[in-house]
Amino acid sequence: MAKGELVTAIRALTAERDLPVDTVIHAVEEALEATYKRQYGQVPDVKVRLDTETEEFRVYAEKQVVIEPRDEATEISLKDAQELPSKPGLNEMVEVEVTPPNFGRIAAQTAKQTILQRIQEAERDLIYDEFANKEGEVLTGTIERVEPRGIIVNLGKAEALLPPPEQVPRERYRIGQRLKVYLVKVERGIRTPQLIVSRSHRGLVRRLFEVEVPEIFNGTVELKALAREPGSRTKVAVQARQEGIDAVGACVGMRGVRIQNVVNELNGEKIDVVNWDERPEKFVANSLGPAQVLNVDVHPEERRAVVWVPDSQLSLAIGKEGQNARLAAKLTGWRVDIKKQSETAPKPEPSAPAPIIVEEVVEDEGPVTMAELLGDVPIEAGEET
């Protein structure tokens, strides 16, 4: 390789891959140090540096100044040392250039693979550092391909994996489709950083609300709790942190524009926005919306709430396949038992059983005579007895 060609190639490569030149140069210097040691033996304290004037890599080794060197790799004579600009004294350590005449060609041939590997490592670290700070954020990507392990989403500088557990069952994905994903986790990986993204994570809904609702983004409205069944329904509890602000209205927006944008991004997933309340009975009642609630009895020791609703509202409060009640329980953290109003009516007490009359039993004293039956009643003449 001609003079300066290696450096020119490195700079072109860094510009193409958008990598810091200094990082790549440092990786090349370390690779050439390993190359030198393989070619010329294990020399301690050898360093390779780029000469910015000649654009050539030069090799330097630490040597000790002695009278008569026994090991040329680690020692230099006092006479030769005096010819150096620093003019070191006896037993001092001095850095001496030991660049072989054909080192440039040997370096280009031997270190090529190592240099590419280090460049890939530098690129991997750069991508990792960039995306590690974005965990928990929403990113926009394009579906690139479908693999058995999941869907590969191109995020620009890196690829991310959307595994089956993080997909929404009712969503259909196609190659070339643009969609927003929630960055769950970033790992270094062996070759490239492993980015795991999600469409089913409830954090996706939270971040979408922060984007669409300025009051949530600036903190005047706080998103206190969120429960989600991906692709079907989500409940969000919000609270105003500034007097005079309608938290639910801020999330819905004028004519429902704000919440509709979130629904559209989630492909039609239904969203209920309710007011959060520090009183459990009130919060539980709000969480069951749009159903009307008559009364809530709370049992803090069991963290259970018994909710009474009109008979006509029972199915609405429970929801299809129990979804509304289930989401309300997830949102509040309370077990929710729903009962209809008619169950509260007092039930008639059972009628008292007929009294049992116990007659006095007379002890049998033998046959009773006619005289005993008639007693003192006189018998008239002519009457038959």
Say yes or no to pLDDT of 287 above 50: yes
Closest CA to 119 of 211, 30, 237, 215: 30
Phi, psi of 174, rounded to the nearest 5 degrees: -135, 150
| Domain stops at, among 229, 260, 276 | 276
Q: How confident is the model at residue 370 (pLDDT cuts 50, 70, 90)?
A: very low
Query: Same domain, yes or no, for 189 and 250?
Result: no
Helix/strand/coil percentages in the chain, nearest 5: 35, 25, 40
pLDDT for position 77: 85
Task: At 135, list the tokens.
Answer: 């965990």
The model's pLDDT over 213-222, given as tens digits with 9 standing for 90+, comes to 999 999 999 9
Cβ contacts of 339 within 8 Å, gap of 6 or more: 306, 307, 308, 309
* Number of domains within the chain: 4
Question: Do the strands 295-299 and 304-309 form a parallel or antiparallel pair, or are they unpaired?
Answer: antiparallel
State the pLDDT confidence band at 205, using cuts at 50, 70 and 90: very high
SS3 234: strand
- The whole-number pLDDT of residue 26 equals 83
The single-letter code of the amino acid at 58 is R
The predicted pLDDT at position 383 comes to 44
Question: What is the average per-residue pLDDT within 347-358?
Answer: 44
The amino acid sitting at 350 is: P
Q: Average pLDDT of 35-46?
A: 75
Taking the C-alpha atoms of 80, 82, 84 and 87 in order, what is their torsion angle to the nearest 10 degrees?
A: 150
58 contacts 64 by C-beta, under 8 angstroms:
no
- Residue span of the structural domain in which 178 resides: 135-200
262 and 293 together in one domain: no
* Same structural domain, 194 and 207: no
Give me the residues paired with residue 172 across strands.
Answer: none
Q: Looking at the domain assignment, is residue 19 inside a domain?
A: yes
Residue 234 CA: distances (Å) to CA of 201, 227, 231, 321 = 11, 6, 9, 15
CA distance linking residue 57 with residue 48, whole number of Å:
6
- For residue 32, the model assigns a pLDDT of 82
In the predicted structure, residue 291 carries a pLDDT above the cut 80: yes
Q: Which residue has the higher pLDDT, 124 or 261?
A: 261
| pLDDT band at residue 42 under the 50/70/90 scheme | low
Query: In 3-state terms, what secondary structure has residue 47?
Result: strand
Residue-level pLDDT at 313: 92
Checking if the pLDDT of 6 tops 80, the result is: no
Starting at the edge strand found earlier in the chain, the sheet holding 304-309 runs 295-299, 304-309, 335-340
pLDDT of residue 335: 94
Same-domain check for residues 141 and 238: no
Domain CATH number, residue 168: 2.40.50.140
Output the domain CATH number for residue 79: 3.30.1480.10
Which region among 10-14, 164-168, 300-304 has the lowest average model confidence (pLDDT)? Answer: 10-14
Q: Please give the share of the chain, as a percent, with pLDDT higher than 90.
A: 49
Residue 284 resides in a domain: yes
| End-to-end CA, the chain | 160
Q: How far apart are CA 7 and CA 106, in angstroms?
A: 15
Return the C-alpha torsion angle 303, 343, 290, 237, nearest 10.
-10
pLDDT at position 81 is 82
**pLDDT score, position 3:** 55
Under 8 Å between Cβ of 163 and 196:
yes
Cis peptide leading into 290, omega within 30 of 0? yes
**CATH number, domain containing residue 307:** 3.30.300.20
Q: What is the mean pLDDT of residues 340-355?
A: 56
117 and 61 assigned to the same domain = yes
Q: 66-101: per-residue pLDDT in tens? A: 888 887 777 888 888 887 877 788 888 888 888 888
